[in-house]
Amino acid sequence: MAVNSKRRKFYIYYLLVFTLLFGVVSKEVQASPSVSSERAILMDQETGRVLFEKDAHTKSRIASITKIMTAILAIESGKMEEEVTISNNAAGTEGSSLFLKAGEKVKLEDLVYGLMLRSGNDSAVAIAEYVGGSLEGFSYLMNKKASEIGMKNSHFSNPHGLDDHEDHYSTAYDMAILTRYSMENELFQKISGTKVHTSPNPEEKWDRKWKNKNRLLTELYKHSTGGKTGYTKLAKRTLVSTASKDGEHLIAVTLNGPDDWNDHIGMFEYGFKQYDYKIVLEEGTIDKIKNSIYKDHAYLKREAVLMLKDDEVENVKVEYKMLKPKKKWLKNEHVPEVVGNAVIYLDGEKIETLPIFFKVEKEEEEPSWWEFWAYSFQSILGVEGNG
């Protein structure tokens, strides 16, 4: 009996330990999203911090998420109210279509709606020919913009993403950068987040009505704010989407994702639950700089905000790198606009740098002789008090 009792206690102890360990492991597994996609990324839209990634820097075919670049270039062209005459080349484009007819005129804005909501390849070609002068000219603009915004592993050869060029590719990371840049534009935000758009169709008795193909936006995820779908035989399913919840704004990208809808929902839920915006530096005077010349004069024009987990806050460090101060600065003599930088580190890695400015005390000017006598005269007449 004593042996059985000891054995029973051992099993109970073993079970408790196993349960505890399993719970810890399960919690860790749940803390990181599982995705079906070959390549994926989750990025914070405000700060650009990568919250999750899976092979995010490998060059890949991207299919119709290419059209994010086409859309933002059209919007930035300043021609959105102009009418575009559809060419034979555009009308005959293969794949997903708005069924545009050669010779008809469509406002560029409507073409961009059709591009983003219905993924019209004919619309993409019409936009490229109008904005870039030709498909080659538009590809030049696409690559120029990619270089400007830091898409280092991307090359665009067409405006739609069809598999007609070997040198048309990007990465999950680069597409997140492009989406972050594009979402700064209010009109792009509006178009990307539109569920249904109606466009005039002068040759028929009815208007064109386009429903967005992005099911996250239209039915699957209440926090979805927009995005772009894509598919070709070689690229497989590609998806870019954005979501917002409680003031947080996230970007998700998946390449070759057989279950991409759920991949995106899982990444978004992970981001919203695990991370939050934290102010790591307040704007205004920097109290931690004790130098007598900088004291009450060194300041930041904006606050620094990071997307952090709760347990990461203590790992944030700030280093102030200042110019050698000069006494004459206190007399407003030859004061540089920027006198240093506040460098923010997370786990030893540099995350952000903010310029530090010097607040110049303005000396009150003594009133001129004329101002003195004018003031005295007004006082004598009793004007000063009541006008």
pLDDT tens per residue across span 231-282: 999 999 999 999 999 999 999 999 999 999 999 999 999 999 999 999 999 9
CA triple 62-63-65, angle to 5 deg = 75
Active site residue 67: yes
* Cα–Cα distance, 53 to 69 (Å, whole number): 22
Computed on alpha carbons and rounded to an integer, the radius of gyration of the chain in Å comes to 29
CATH code that applies to domain 39-274: 3.40.710.10
Which pLDDT band holds residue 386 (cuts at 50, 70, 90)? very low
The residue-averaged pLDDT of 371-381 equals 51
Sign, CA torsion 293/296/301/307: positive
CA triple 378-384-387, angle to 5 deg = 105
Query: Which residue, 121, 153, 129, 152, is CA-closest to 141?
Result: 129
Task: Report the pLDDT value the prediction gives residue 3, as an integer from 0 to 100.
Answer: 47
Q: What is the 3-state secondary structure (H, E, C) of 272-304?
A: HHHCEEEEEECCEECCCCCCCCCCCCEEECCCE
The residue-averaged pLDDT of 183-206 equals 92
Burial tier of 278 (Cβ tally within 10 Å: 0-12, 13-18, 19+):
middle
Give tens-digit pLDDT for 87-137: 999 999 999 999 999 999 999 999 999 999 999 999 999 999 999 999 999
CA triple 184-186-191, angle to 5 deg = 115
The residue-averaged pLDDT of 142-153 equals 98
CA dihedral 166, 120, 153, 72 (to 10 degrees): 150
CATH class of 278-358: mainly beta
Q: Write down the mean pLDDT value for the chain.
A: 89
Task: Report the pLDDT value the prediction gives residue 302, as an integer from 0 to 100.
Answer: 95
Active-site option among 96, 119, 123, 154: 119
Window from 21-25, 63-67, 184-188, 223-227 with minimum mean pLDDT:
21-25
Give tens-digit pLDDT for 277-327: 999 999 999 999 989 889 989 999 999 999 999 999 999 999 999 999 998
Active-site option among 60, 64, 157, 182: 64
Which pLDDT band holds residue 26 (cuts at 50, 70, 90)? very low
Burial tier of 64 (Cβ tally within 10 Å: 0-12, 13-18, 19+):
buried
Q: SS3 for 38?
A: coil
**40 neighbors 253 (Cβ within 8 angstroms):** yes
Active-site option among 67, 213, 228, 236: 67
Active site residue 5: no
Active site residue 119: yes
Can you name the residues that pair with 43 across neighbouring β-strands? 50, 251
Which regions of the chain carry the CATH code 2.30.140.30? 278-358
Which regions of the chain carry the CATH code 3.40.710.10? 39-274
CA triple 117-118-123, angle to 5 deg = 105
Whether 18 has a pLDDT exceeding 50, the answer reads no
Query: Which residue, 146, 145, 93, 103, is CA-closest to 123?
Result: 93
